[in-house]
Structure 1
Amino acid sequence: MDAQVVKATPSQPLAKKKREFAVWKRFAKNKVALVGLAIIIVQVLLAVFAPLLVQHSPVKQNLNLSELPIGSPDHILGTDNFGRDLWSRIVYGSRISLFVGLGAVTLGLLGGVTLGLLAGYYRRLDGIIMRFVDLLFAFPGILLAMLIIAILGTSLVNVVIAISIWSIPSCARIVRGNVLSIKKREYILAMKSVGASDTRIIFRHVLPNCMDSIIVFATMRMATAILSTSSLSFLGLGAQPPTPEWGAMIAAGREFMWTSPHLIIVPGIAIMLVVFAFNVVGDALRDALDPNMNLEK
């Protein structure tokens, strides 16, 4: 069989663009997902342009202005018990959420995709890798993260490492399942018959066909990473004072919840909106990218 049979044809880029348009069309029909996408865009803009959007330092204290309510002059969201501007802390907190979320998901994907590809493509490695994955699954996620942080120490970098390790087994199983299906397809068998290397087959044909599942996993895992970061910081295992992290802000505001409830309501709403946004966008992407669904519907 001529090797050119499996090469891309000129019509493939056009077909790819048509599919991308059809996927976006299906995604855009989900109005809730569009709201979620708008929230994500706003968070990214807040993180990128934080210095231009705030007038006050997120860590500078002014006890003369402590616990100002929402709507106070020059402090739209009020201040905390140390007189720090809550709007500034929320805006800079969005940077931490994105940093930890993207870092943890990226590292988790690197580990999970690698293990999933190896386990799915090479049957002799499948048993070893999946037993390791099962070992990680034996620990509840948040407890595994707490154990890792207890060993490494409390810092946001260690939170990224802990959450990324937590993400590896789920990603590995998803990718492995896709690879087991993909490698049995005729064009993969054709590639092998013309002598294509395993590296070429994996990175040029197998991995690209796993990308839909990986994208959906990464999007929904961002919500888990952000929520986990806030939970760990709330427990004192993540960001340390005076870092403007949303979970740490809730922890610090607990003792003032009856006199100044906005100290926990404001960061709580921020966490809720961002987690909601990534979850609904992930759900919509899963539906839009599902090959079993009629994209023209």
Structure 2
Amino acid sequence: MTSEALQTDKVAKEKKREKPFLQLMKRLVKNKLAVFGLFIIIIQILMAIFAPLLVSYNPIEQNLAKTQLGIGAEGHWLGTDNYGRDMWSRLVYGARLSLVVGITSVIIGLLGGITLGLLAGYYKRLDGIIMRIVDLLFAFPGILLAMLIIAMLGTSIINVIIAISIWSIPGCARIVRGSVLSVKKQEYILAMRSLGAKDSRIIIKHILPNCMAPIIVFATMRMATSILSTSALSFLGLGAQPPTAEWGAMIAEGQAFMWTAPHMTIVPGVAIMLVVFAFNVVGDGLRDALDPNMDLNN
């Protein structure tokens, strides 16, 4: 064996000894755009956690003597809105609300989608029934489905979470089903069956862990969709209700003052754009980092 072959073999063994998480992070940091997106996400998380420490004003307290102040005027970093409320305070607390809604709706959607996907992929007799239900949900455009659910349940943040969760289920179910159909044909799964292992054990301990890569990517990119959908529903008056600080609602309030106080619309709009961009590029980076062929390409 040549020295080059020995070196290659040594590197391969070292990679195997590394923890999967460390391998993932090493691959992810090679993608500069994904690192930038991760930085933005970390900032949003810190804003959400330490919101009370980052603001000097109550986000819902009105001061009609200081309406529509420009950026940096009278100690207000990002100005004030048409009710004299501090825009920075509302932006920070809006980050908290967006993150809570996004994480909660994605988790609920994943639980439903993973369950349906595992059942449909593993049990052939359930596949047709479950996937027809999924196809029925896919027949509705996502935002219209969410609007329909909210119209039936009423306008509130809780109902927004429920609507976005239901919207997330069919996409997740289809992805998981495809992964299960591929994994369950592997020889070790057939061996487990022949040894009499219970279906629940095979699904939870052997199939689900091997389906996690696409699930992680879906969850990351779904966060972007959830935050954008929350803002869209609030903009339409179906989500957060006044005086709650929420980015979409802030844009809706500011659109009437676009020419006299453009910061009321631009500030929350830029925040939505940056966060959605961040989750999308991190999702792309994770998809590349979790690709088993990445090491071969490098």
Q: Which residue of 1 aligns with 2:140?
A: 139
Q: Which residue of 1 aligns with 2:24?
A: 23
Q: Which residue of 2 aligns with 1:8?
A: none
Counterpart mapping for 1:99-248 below 5 A: 99-248=100-249
Counterpart mapping for 1:80-99 below 5 A: 80-99=81-100
Q: CA RMSD in A?
A: 1.4
Q: CA shift at 1:295, angstroms? A: 6.1
Q: CA shift at 1:71, angstroms? A: 1.1
Matched residue type, 2:270: I
The separation in 2 between residues aligned to 1:53 and 1:61, in whole angstroms, is 19
Task: Report the secondary structure of 1:68's partner residue.
Answer: coil
Q: CA shift at 1:194, angstroms? A: 1.1
The separation in 2 between residues aligned to 1:58 and 1:16, in whole angstroms, is 50
Matched residue type, 1:209: N
Q: Which residue of 2 aligns with 1:3?
A: none
Does the alignment pair 1:49 with 2:47? Answer: no
The separation in 2 between residues aligned to 1:130 and 1:161, in whole angstroms, is 21
The separation in 2 between residues aligned to 1:98 and 1:23, in whole angstroms, is 24
The separation in 2 between residues aligned to 1:24 and 1:61, in whole angstroms, is 45
Does the alignment pair 1:265 with 2:280? Answer: no
The separation in 2 between residues aligned to 1:115 and 1:270, in whole angstroms, is 34
- State the Cα deviation string for residues 260-279 of structure 1 (Å, max 9, x = none): 00000000000001000000
**Pair 259,185 (structure 1): closer, same or farther in 2 beyond 3 Å:** same
Q: CA shift at 1:292, angstroms? A: 3.0
TM-score (norm 2): 0.93
Does the alignment pair 1:69 with 2:70? Answer: yes
Matched residue type, 1:268: G
Q: CA shift at 1:19, angstroms? A: 3.7
Q: CA shift at 1:18, angstroms? A: 4.1
> Structure 2 stretches of 5 or more lacking a match?
1-14
Matched residue type, 1:66: T
Q: CA shift at 1:21, angstroms? A: 2.6
Q: CA shift at 1:195, angstroms? A: 1.1
Q: CA shift at 1:290, angstroms? A: 1.2
The separation in 2 between residues aligned to 1:93 and 1:16, in whole angstroms, is 43
**Pair 16,83 (structure 1): closer, same or farther in 2 beyond 3 Å:** farther
Matched residue type, 2:119: L
The separation in 2 between residues aligned to 1:199 and 1:274, in whole angstroms, is 38
Counterpart mapping for 1:6-21 below 5 A: 15=16, 17-21=18-22
> Structure 1 stretches of 5 or more lacking a match?
1-13
Matched residue type, 2:225: T
The separation in 1 between residues aligned to 2:20 and 2:87, in whole angstroms, is 44
Matched residue type, 1:111: G
